Amino acid sequence: MFELEQRAYPAAHRLLNDLSSTHAAIAAVLDGTIDGQVWVDRISDPRVALVANGDAYFLAGSPDQAARSFPELKRLMPEWAYVFIEDRWQDYLGEIWSNPFALPHPRIRLGLLGGPGGGMAVVLPDGFTLAPIDQALLDLGPGNLDTVADLMERWRSSGLFLEKAIGFCVLHDGCIVSHCATDSVSGDRCELGVGTEPTYRRLGLGKAAAAATVAECVRRGVNRIEWHTHASNRGSIAIARACGLEELDRHMAYSGNLPAENVGDLDVSSCRAWAQHLERASDQIGWYRFHAAGAWTLAGEHERALENLRLLVDRGWEGEAEWLESYWAIQALVRDPQFEAIVERQRAASGG
């Protein structure tokens, strides 16, 4: 596999056309607006193309014509990747990826393909204000500004982010508590992402930020708006629909993570099944215990979750203690003295 320089990206356009029609992030990588890497199996008339954008990996092409590239694909695609593939690659995952325990993640793509949209302005509770994500916000320097810094990191430069990205945040007591912004922009097309601090959820803040962002996207001519989410994420889907977005299609990703982002997304029996699978997988891929602990917590089996965290730390996990403290799936454990001791052991082991 050959990694392409940006000027050579057109060589991969044909192969990536179908996947990029579903994932605007691919188009934005090829445009050079957000960070990414592109590989092909050969420079002239390639048969396989692989795109990486953060932890997301997108694979396209003809597996039956590129068996010689399989070992190189396995080298390039890390165990922890979140993988999107064309359907024709499903039977080859075990040959091209070093993670044999990844399972399908059902996902939904919603979108607004044109027109003004059906969203309505949302009234914020007293004490909350809406602000665009722009240079003025950076100059203001509110608390939780790392939220914006994290968004910027996905782009080629902060200047490009400020020029092309569109988004709004909700401020409370001088801090960013919710936001919605374009994760990627390619021409008149974009993908939106939304997030709200856990203690501020169910107040309509994400809906307010999203409605303002959708309206601004339309105003600026970026009206092919898309929204990707886990099929289990009812809250995200509800916000998208409230902003006038409708379901476009469903597709699969593959990962070792839980196919959820919030407590209550998965029922208890699903959490238990995932916990058992992740725990078994951790015998070969140690970091699976991190997600096994999350699944056991969601299933209500806290002692088993704590045991997985102990084993994770005792066996030399290279993660940061803060990842444990902030992992959404194990928040029910954070006040447990046993959990606090595990976190401190990891902090000491990592020199933090």
Residue 106 lies in a domain: no
Average pLDDT over residues 282-294: 97
Place 123 in a pLDDT band, splitting at 50, 70 and 90. Answer: confident
Specify whether 96 is located in the same domain as 123: no
Specify whether 97 is located in the same domain as 180: no
Residue 116: pLDDT over 60: no
- Backbone φ and ψ for 143, nearest 5 degrees, come out as -65, 155
- Backbone φ and ψ for 59, nearest 5 degrees, come out as -120, 130
Specify whether 19 is located in the same domain as 94: yes
Q: What is the pLDDT of residue 350?
A: 84
CATH number, position 82: 3.40.630
Residue 330 lies in a domain: yes
Average pLDDT over residues 54-76: 96
Specify whether 273 is located in the same domain as 328: yes
Specify whether 39 is located in the same domain as 77: yes
At 16-41, the pLDDT tens digits run 999 999 999 999 999 999 999 999 99
Average pLDDT over residues 300-327: 97
The identity of residue 31, as a single letter, is D
Residue 117: pLDDT over 60: no
Average pLDDT over residues 82-97: 96
Please say which residue of 75, 101, 127 terminates a domain: 101
Q: What is the pLDDT of residue 351?
A: 82
Total domain count, the chain: 3
Residue 259 lies in a domain: no
Specify whether 277 is located in the same domain as 245: no
Q: What is the pLDDT of residue 119?
A: 52
Average pLDDT over residues 262-279: 97
Share of the chain above pLDDT 70, in %: 97
Residue 217: pLDDT over 90: yes
CA dihedral 105, 214, 145, 161 (to 10 degrees): 90
Specify whether 304 is located in the same domain as 335: yes
At 319-335, the pLDDT tens digits run 999 999 999 999 999 99
Residue 263 lies in a domain: no
Residue 261 lies in a domain: no
Specify whether 11 is located in the same domain as 64: yes
- pTM across the whole model: 0.94
Q: What is the pLDDT of residue 102?
A: 97
Specify whether 62 is located in the same domain as 118: no
By residue count, the chain amounts to: 352
Range of lowest pLDDT (131-135, 267-271, 341-345, 347-351): 347-351
Please name the residue ranges forming H helices in 282-327. Answer: 288-298, 302-314, 321-326
Closest to 103 measured CA to CA, from 238, 314, 266 = 266
Residue 239 lies in a domain: yes
At 144-202, the pLDDT tens digits run 999 999 999 999 999 999 999 999 999 999 999 999 999 999 999 999 999 999 999 99
Q: What is the pLDDT of residue 120?
A: 61
What domain range includes position 134? 111-251
Specify whether 319 is located in the same domain as 281: yes
Place 121 in a pLDDT band, splitting at 50, 70 and 90. Answer: low
The identity of residue 272, as a single letter, is R
Specify whether 115 is located in the same domain as 92: no
CATH number, position 215: 3.40.630.30
Please say which residue of 101, 124, 142 terminates a domain: 101
Residue 256 lies in a domain: no
For 270, how many CA atoms within 13 A lie in the half-sphere containing its CB?
Answer: 11
Average pLDDT over residues 283-296: 97
Residue 196 lies in a domain: yes
Specify whether 131 is located in the same domain as 242: yes
Q: What is the pLDDT of residue 162?
A: 96
Angstrom distance (rounded) from CA 50 to CA 41: 9
Please say which residue of 59, 75, 101 terminates a domain: 101
